[in-house]
Structure 1
Amino acid sequence: MLLEGLPRVLAAIAAGALATLALPPIDFPASAFVAFPVLVWLLDGIGARQTLLRTLLADFWIGWLFGFGYFVAGLWWLGSAMLVDAAAFAVFIPFAVLGLPAVCAVYFGLSTMLARRFWSHSAFRILVLAASFGLFEWLRSFVLTGFPWNEIGVLAAPTPMLMQSVSLVGIHGISLLAVFVFAAPAVLADRHGRVPVVTLAVLIAAGHIGYGYVRLAANPTKFVDGTRVSVVQANIPQSDKFDEAAAQKIFARQIAVTEKGREARPAKPEQGTGAKIVETAPQERTLIVWAESSLPFILTERPEAIARLADMIEPGEMLIAGAPRIETLASGRERLYNSVLVIDDNGEIVDARDKVHLVPFGEYMPFGRFFESLGIMNLSQMPGGFSAGSAHDPVPIDGSPSFLPLVCYEAIFPAEIAPSIAKDRPGFLVNDTNDGWFGNTPGPYQHLRLAELSAVALGLPLIRAANTGISVVTDAYGREIDALALGATGTIESALPAAAPATPYSRLRNLPFFVLLVASFAISVSIWLFISRQLD
């Protein structure tokens, strides 16, 4: 509270960075019980300023510094993507490592600035801090296309047992409650309101743990009869993706890993012998899942590749593969999509879905014509970038539950997914991704956790195929059935987990969070007004 100048600045940045120890792959939530009390005490130490503007800036500055430390320590691995083609993109490393965190930190600065408007000497001040963080974490999820990476709520969900509350109030609700609980140690020495605030924090933490334990215990993993999945992790270096000469080699490697995985599948039961009639229809459907951009060319332009896939895909199998797709408009202009193709055992593309939520600067350039005139292209190096698909729609499959395809970081936007499954609820999620951009860094671990939280929120199993990892099959409660480590090559051969009943979040979406948010602000402002009148 008494720090000034540079020590104060460093304390705020260090506290934010410390909180990231609770993120994957370290998963040490205890660090947040130190980081957030430090933030509260730094806010307590802001003295009176001569003008309202200076007061607002002081309140904003502490939150921004805390956020800057949090996002730099949590997102430094984004610089790895710039090194895949260093000659073209290394110059942008400072923007990725420092610039994006500086922008994201604005949300934390606005959170503390708002909270300080209703700050009091009561322990209940941490409730308004929690509500403010909840509000701006929600805004961060959709403003400027949204970037809800590593929301505060993720710090409170390192295991399946601690993920289950997201099915009730969503990740924004968990963020609000997490800030309140993490900040509670800061008020242990307070004279006013300490007992009810600490008691409430303990009850919230106990409820979070207890609900997860009870939900998992009451819902053991169940599987869908007659459907298996084969998740292929070909582990192709990202640098090869830019080499057109390597396209055939990449394609051959995908097939070789797939066929080798088939050898490891459990043998099918005998269908009959002698004079007994043998059914020709397959008794089991196997879904082969390839990662994002696993087909390194436009499949419809490669008849020899279609023929090879027809040879590879056996009766009863179906391939779900990430691939670029071209659509020719009536004007003759072409649009390129980052898509998921569904290919049957005849080598026919029977369905396709296009990526809806594209990555800014990665798959398209905001103000694209201006940047391209300067010779600056998106990371995918596609002139004009990809076009966005129109909507998320489940894909029906004969003999198997339908699935909802999510390409790359689409899986971290549960609020965008929920409306698309409200009327036509699929049996599982397929997340095709390519985290090869980020090498052996925390990025792939964080991406996996965010996808798992979305799946738990919606109550759907997750089938995740990642080029270099981490590929995984989880049940509808986030329990891993099997996984392939980062950098491994191989397949996951698993039965398909069954979907859970529709969760409160999948039905109500962010409504429980908004109720929690309004109630938190109402209680905080009421207590602030009461204390202010008492002082007057």
Structure 2
Amino acid sequence: MTASLLRARPAAWRRAARPWPRAAAAGFAGLVGALGLAPWGLWWLSLPAVALALVLRGHATTRGGAFLTGWAFGAGWFGLGLSWIVEPFLVDVARHGWMAPFALLFLAGGLALFWGAVFAAAHRRGAALLVALWIAAEMARGVVFTGFPWAMPGHVFIDTPVAQLAALGGAPLLTLIALGLPAAALAIGRSLWLAVPALACMAAWIALDPGPAPAPPPDAPVVRLVQPNAVQALKWDPDWLPVFHERLMSLTGQGDVPDLVVWPETALPWLLDQSGEALAQGVAAARGAPLALGIQRREGARYYNSAIVVDADGGVASLYDKSHLVPFGEYVPFGETAARFGIHGLAASEGGGYTPGPGLHPVSVPGIGLALPLICYEGIFAREINAATTTGALRPRLMLLMTNDAWFGHVSGPYQHFAQARLRAIEQRMPMARVANTGVSGMIDAMGRVTARIGLDEMGAVDAALPPRGAAPAYARWGDAPMLALLLALGLAGMRRNRLDRGRAGA
């Protein structure tokens, strides 16, 4: 039956049923779909790309062919969306450059396995089950092997009003829209498959657009964001250390005295117990304002990537140790064995790797209240942030993200990282002060709007009024539980529909 139907179809359709041409088309669709991610923001290309992947999936005649289609679409998507992953390996080309192509191949190909498995599991099943499994796989991707929830399909909406729905269901809800709209359009009819997603997104655009950020209250605390622009290849060069340190001092001491000064991750090149003089200079430059900064520290043989808040007297008022470390960056799994083959973490300390802290927790900032410190990579894990931002009196006033995005290059990585910071602000309805070594730095309000910004590869400081915090939204209160229930219902409905269709076919 299948062979006769294929013979009756046009030649292009018959080619679509062959696995390798179909995989090539799916890979191209993935590349196009990833253009919806930052910095490109072409979300209106992502929806047709998903629709094409669904059409190609329908032409797979075997479960293996379905897997190949899903894997190829994911490989194209992650291959472009995560292309910045080669940049950290090029900082020290002589030592790590050989790993760059393998990093991209293994990361893109490995993450694409999630999508391939979904397409295989939903082979000859309805779109509802496929979408439910696909979103569940994306949620699992944020947990498995310490998690890497980067470049999710829902991230294409971060720079649009649709992102406001993240306050209800986080990135999984945005992903449901990114996958569900094309699937629904195809189910309605081929003549409407472009019109339905477009009309739905335009309606959401109008209804959800928060508009421009309002003027801050006159008594809002002023936060100074300091971006020294210390290029990663020179950041630890002894000849450049005084240059970058002087930048921090001069930028901190300019203008009126703010209520808080924030420096980026590993702002000082010395360990905490060796930084007394440098911290004293920073306190003097801050002129009485508390100073928050990233710094390395050690306890015995253990090294930590930490954030501290220094008060006006130069004392450490608060301390946080980064808890979610970057695999193969800040530590290497099975590190002793890997070291025998010359594999070391790219950003590991002189001790060979960092020790994780006990977990995210708010810290006290004099004159402002509680802040939730996040160091670099930790800003992409919505579930962990949810667990640390309790409601009520202990709910932080703001999130304080310190990062060194110089590792991520100059094309897409820093912009995608900044976009995810905006998504975290929406999910929590909480402002975020984000400071990056080379950019992008900015103040983000509780609606995800950027109220102050320092661009990529710029040196500078900006004073930003701290926006108000909103009430804890549904996602901050309940996390992923409602979405999991919705996915379960969607999957069960899809399975029931499949049984009914098979019953009709049998009759």
Fold similarity call, TM over 0.5: yes
d(CA) in 2 for partners of 1:303, 1:239:
25
Task: Note the alpha carbon deviations across 1:420-464, whole angstroms, 9 max, x for none.
Answer: 111521011111011111221111111111111011101110110
1:224 and 1:497 in contact (8 A); partners too: no
Q: Secondary structure at the match of 2:91?
A: coil
Shift of 1:341: 1.1
Paired residue for 2:388, among 417, 420, 425? 420
Q: Secondary structure at the match of 1:465?
A: strand
2:263 and 2:402 in contact (8 A); partners too: yes
Matched with 1:45 is: 59
Paired residue for 2:208, among 209, 212, 215? 212
Paired residue for 1:528, among 491, 498, 503? 498
Q: What aligned pairs does 1:87-486 form with structure 2 within 5 A after superposition?
A: 87-116=94-123, 119=125, 125-159=126-160, 161-189=161-189, 205=201, 208-213=204-209, 216=210, 220=214, 222-223=216-217, 225-259=219-253, 262-263=254-255, 265=256, 286-315=259-288, 317-328=289-300, 334-382=301-349, 383-423=351-391, 424-486=394-456
Q: Secondary structure at the match of 1:67?
A: helix
Matched with 2:5 is: none
Paired residue for 1:71, among 48, 58, 78? 78
Q: Secondary structure at the match of 1:239?
A: coil
Q: Return 5+ residue gaps in structure 1 as ranges.
A: 48-54, 120-124, 269-284, 329-333
Matched, 1:16 2:17: no
Shift of 1:384: 2.6
1:247 and 1:297 in contact (8 A); partners too: no
Shift of 1:220: 4.6
TM-score by length of 2: 0.91
Shift of 1:221: 6.1
TM-score by length of 1: 0.86
Q: Secondary structure at the match of 1:478?
A: coil
d(CA) in 2 for partners of 1:212, 1:96:
38
Q: Secondary structure at the match of 1:529?
A: helix
2:331 and 2:348 in contact (8 A); partners too: no
Matched with 1:511 is: 481
1:461 and 1:474 in contact (8 A); partners too: yes
Change in 2 beyond 3 A, CA 1:522/1:200: farther
Change in 2 beyond 3 A, CA 1:34/1:380: same
2:47 and 2:197 in contact (8 A); partners too: no
The residue identity in structure 2 corresponding to 1:451 is A
2:250 and 2:285 in contact (8 A); partners too: no
Which moves more between the two structures, 65-74 or 197-206?
197-206
Shift of 1:87: 0.5
Q: Secondary structure at the match of 1:500?
A: coil
The residue identity in structure 2 corresponding to 1:303 is G
d(CA) in 2 for partners of 1:381, 1:476:
34
Task: Note the alpha carbon deviations across 1:156-185, whole angstroms, 9 max, x for none.
Answer: 3323x2211000011112212320113344
Shift of 1:525: 1.1
The residue identity in structure 1 corresponding to 2:268 is L
Task: Note the alpha carbon deviations across 1:182-227, whole angstroms, 9 max, x for none.
Answer: 334434546xxx99x99996886466435523xx269956548251
Shift of 1:41: 1.3
Percentage identity across paired residues of the two chains: 32
The residue identity in structure 2 corresponding to 1:171 is A
d(CA) in 2 for partners of 1:114, 1:200:
27
Alpha-carbon RMSD across the aligned residues, in angstroms, is 2.2
1:23 and 1:446 in contact (8 A); partners too: yes
Which moves more between the two structures, 378-387 or 88-97?
378-387
d(CA) in 2 for partners of 1:115, 1:447:
32
Change in 2 beyond 3 A, CA 1:381/1:363: closer
d(CA) in 2 for partners of 1:258, 1:346:
16
2:259 and 2:367 in contact (8 A); partners too: no
Count of residue pairs brought into register by the alignment: 489
Shift of 1:114: 2.0
The residue identity in structure 1 corresponding to 2:94 is A
d(CA) in 2 for partners of 1:398, 1:170:
31
1:29 and 1:155 in contact (8 A); partners too: yes
Change in 2 beyond 3 A, CA 1:206/1:529: farther
d(CA) in 2 for partners of 1:302, 1:486:
28
d(CA) in 1 for partners of 2:466, 2:376:
21
1:165 and 1:211 in contact (8 A); partners too: no
Q: Secondary structure at the match of 1:158?
A: coil
Matched, 1:61 2:57: no
Matched with 2:50 is: 36
Change in 2 beyond 3 A, CA 1:199/1:236: closer
1:23 and 1:158 in contact (8 A); partners too: no
d(CA) in 1 for partners of 2:399, 2:330:
22
